[in-house]
Amino acid sequence: MRLGVLDIGSNTGHLLVVDAHRGAAPLPAYSYKQPLRLAEHLEDGDITTTGIEALTTFVAGSVVVAEDRGAHDMLGFATSAVRDARNAEAVLAHVAAATGVRIAVLPGEDEARLTFLAVRRWFGWSAGRLAVFDIGGGSLEIAGGADEEPDVAWSIPLGAARLAREHFAGARPDEEQIAVLRKKIRAAIAEDAGKLLRGGPPDVAAATSKTFRSLARICGAAPSDDGPLVNRSLAVAQLRLWIPQLVDLPAEKLADLPGVSPSRVHQIVPGALVAEAVMDIFDLPDLQICPWALREGVILERLDQLPESVPDTTPEKGAS
User: What pLDDT, in 10s, does the model give residues 179-220?
Assistant: 999 999 999 999 999 999 999 999 999 999 999 999 999 999
Instruction: Give the CA distances from residue 274 to residues 23, 129, 280, in Å, rounded to whole numbers and listed in that order.
Output: 35, 23, 10
Rg (CA), the chain: 20
What does the alpha-carbon distance between residue 36 and residue 180 come to, in Å, rounded to a whole number? 28
Q: Averaged over 257-282, what is the pLDDT?
A: 95
Burial of 98 (0-12, 13-18, 19+ CB in 10 A): middle
The predicted structure's pLDDT at residue 314: 52
Angle subtended by helix axes 268-281 and 210-218, to nearest 10: 90
Give the phi and the psi of residue 276 in degrees, each rounded to 5: -65, -40
**CATH number of 2-105, picked from 3.40.50.200, 2.40.30.10, 3.40.50.1580, 3.30.420.40:** 3.30.420.40
**With the CA atoms of 103, 119, 40 and 97 taken in that order, what torsion angle do they form, in degrees rounded to the nearest 10?**
-10
Cα–Cα distances in angstroms (integers) from residue 161 to residues 24, 40, 147, 192, in the given order: 34, 8, 31, 22
In the chain, ranges of CATH 3.30.420.40 domains: 2-105
Residues of the chain with CATH 3.30.420.150: 108-299
**What confidence tier does 172 reach under pLDDT thresholds 50, 70, 90?**
confident
Q: What is the side-by-side strand order in the sheet with 12-19?
A: 27-35, 12-19, 2-8, 73-78, 104-105
| Range 108-299 classified under CATH 3.30.420.150 | yes
Averaged over 52-58, what is the pLDDT? 97
* CA angle 133–136–17, rounded 5-degree value: 100
Give the E-state strand segments of the chain in sequence order.
Answer: 2-8, 12-19, 27-35, 42-43, 46-47, 73-78, 104-105, 130-135, 140-145, 152-156, 204-208, 233-235, 286-289
pTM score over 0.75: yes
Question: What pLDDT is stored for residue 54 in this prediction?
Answer: 96
| CA-wise closest residue to 157 among 208, 195, 192 | 192
Is the pLDDT at 309 greater than 60? The verdict is no
Question: Are 127 and 97 contacting, i.e. CB atoms less than 8 angstroms apart?
Answer: no
DSSP secondary structure letter of residue 22: T
pLDDT band at residue 21 using 50, 70 and 90 as cut-offs:
confident
